[in-house]
Amino acid sequence: MDKTYNCIDAGSKYCPCNLANTMNCISCSHLAGEDFCDCSWNGVCILYEYYMNNKQYSDFKKTYRGIVIGKVFLDKNLILLKIKLDKKLLNELNTIGSYVFIRKVNCSNYYDTPMSIFNIDEDYIYIVYQEIGPKTKNIQCEEELSIRGPYWNGIIGEHKLSKVSNSNILIIVRGIGQSSILIPLNKLIKRNNKVVLFLDKGKLNSLYCLNYISDKNIRIEMLDLFSSEGEKKLIDFIRENPIDVVLSAGSEMLHRNVTAIVKESRKDIKIFVTNNNILCCGEGICGSCTRKIDSGERIKTCKTLIDPKQMY
């Protein structure tokens, strides 16, 4: 059989999900059609929950109405939206790696586009995106948006980044990757982590994340990560400093470079990367985010917790 993995939704109120019903559960070997237990989920048994609930699976994530309160044009085609949201959804999104699917209210759900939560406060979420294709164009013209969530695997790692504490963390950010780092940054600092930020504006002309970073204790290094000088700086920093965790926020090329550097220098560093896969349903069903890993198995990155070293 394919190996079972931990699932970002396991143990939440969204578990067991429809994948249990179709015998495609990511975590439970029984609910993936096997005869015996072979899971690494450390919590109340998913099979148990499923049967105790008379084989009812939890509903899909709900779609809410979001009211666009403000927008800022950060650069050409680069837009920040401030959206008022239902408190219930807001609470569930207030975690590292959270994302939602957004579309115009009158569009079909083919237009659902995944967006990571850039920032969050009591009543609002903030998202920053580039207006590029049919899904993103004209979103900013709307007063109301359909918002489906919560989804949590916007940052991929073998464990949950939100659990890391008392560690030295290097966050490497390039371009639109800035949209994913603010919540991790704030939460990781609260958990007594020491954070260093390597920041590259990439193809954008904006370092918008800097306007929202209030903590003066964060060391920020500006560099061009794809220049030989920048790469050397990164390699030297990883080799010479007691880094425990690296978060790569940017393109696939950035993830590949960072993972290669970590693999070559210090195997014990835990890596997390922003989820750049094509996310369409977020429920493990459509298959658009499927990714082949080193072992040859295919995993669904919208929900699977996995060490990025197996992907890059």
Partner 1 sequence: MTTLVIIGGGWAGCAASIIAKKLGVHVILLEKTDMLIGLGNVGGIMRNNGRFTAAEENIFLGARELFEITDKFSIHKNISFPGHKHAYLYDVTKIEPAVRKLLIELGIEVKLKKRVIDVIMEGKDIEGVVLSDGETVYGKAFIDTTGSTGPMGNCFKYGNGCAMCILRCPSFGPRVSISQKAGVKDIVGMKKDGSFGAFSGSCKLNKDSLSADIKDKLEREGVVILPVPKEDIKMDKLTKKVCQQYALKEYGENIILLDTGHAKMMTSFYPLEKLRKIKGLENARYEDPYSGGIGNSVRYLSIAPRQNTMKVNGVNNLFCGGEKSGLFVGHTEAISTGSLAGYNSVRYILGKRLLELPTELAVGDLIYYGNYMIQTEEGLKDRYTFAGSTYFNRMIEKGLYTTDLHKIKSRVENLGLLNIYEKL
- For position 60 contacting partner 1 by CB under 8 A, the verdict is no
CB of 247 to partner 1, least distance (A): 16
**In contact, 134 and 112? CB cutoff 8 Å:** no
Q: What share of the chain is helix, strand, coil (3-state, %, to 5)?
A: 25, 30, 45
61: which DSSP letter?
P
Q: Give the separation between CA 278 and CA 308, rounded to whole angstroms.
A: 16
62: which DSSP letter?
E
CB of 43 to partner 1, least distance (A): 7
- For position 44 contacting partner 1 by CB under 8 A, the verdict is yes
What pairing do the DSSP bridges indicate for beta strands 62-75 and 119-120?
unpaired
> Quick one: 43 or 70, whose CB is closer to partner 1?
43
CB of 94 to partner 1, least distance (A): 25
> Quick one: 133 or 242, whose CB is closer to partner 1?
242
For residue 129, the surrounding DSSP H or E stretch is: strand 124-130
Instruction: Tell me the window of 34-42, 58-66, 252-260, 279-287 that interacts with partner 1 (CB under 8 A).
Output: 34-42
CA atoms within a 13 Å half-sphere pointing along the CA-CB vector of 242: 5
For residue 305, give the 3-state DSSP assignment: strand
Instruction: Tell me the window of 29-37, 92-100, 120-128, 130-138 that interacts with partner 1 (CB under 8 A).
Output: 29-37
The only residue of 2, 12, 21, 51 in contact with partner 1, by rule CB under 8 A = 51
> Quick one: 42 or 108, whose CB is closer to partner 1?
42
Using alpha carbons, list the distances in angstroms from residue 218 to 171, 196, 221.
11, 6, 10
Q: Give the separation between CA 205 and CA 175, rounded to whole angstroms.
A: 9
> Quick one: 114 or 308, whose CB is closer to partner 1?
308
- For position 41 contacting partner 1 by CB under 8 A, the verdict is yes
Peptide bond into 134 cis (omega under 30): no
Tokens (6 digits) for 223: 């560099």
CB of 35 to partner 1, least distance (A): 7
Q: How many residues touch partner 1 (CB under 8 A)?
A: 21
CB of 286 to partner 1, least distance (A): 27
Instruction: Tell me the window of 23-31, 88-96, 134-142, 278-286 that interacts with partner 1 (CB under 8 A).
Output: 23-31
> Quick one: 174 or 270, whose CB is closer to partner 1?
270
Q: Give the separation between CA 189 and CA 218, rounded to whole angstroms.
A: 9
> Quick one: 28 or 96, whose CB is closer to partner 1?
28
> Quick one: 38 or 75, whose CB is closer to partner 1?
38
267: which DSSP letter?
T
Instruction: Tell me the window of 28-36, 75-83, 186-194, 229-237 that interacts with partner 1 (CB under 8 A).
Output: 28-36
> Quick one: 146 or 304, whose CB is closer to partner 1?
304
Binding to partner 1, residues 131-150 (CB under 8 A): none
**In contact, 28 and 20? CB cutoff 8 Å:** yes
Q: Which residue has the tokens 């939602």?
A: 100
Instruction: Tell me the window of 12-20, 27-35, 130-138, 224-232 that interacts with partner 1 (CB under 8 A).
Output: 27-35
For residue 92, give the 3-state DSSP assignment: helix
- For position 111 contacting partner 1 by CB under 8 A, the verdict is no
Using alpha carbons, list the distances in angstroms from residue 102 to 18, 39, 139, 140.
22, 33, 9, 11
Interaction site with partner 1 (CB under 8 A): 28-30, 35-48, 51, 158-159, 270
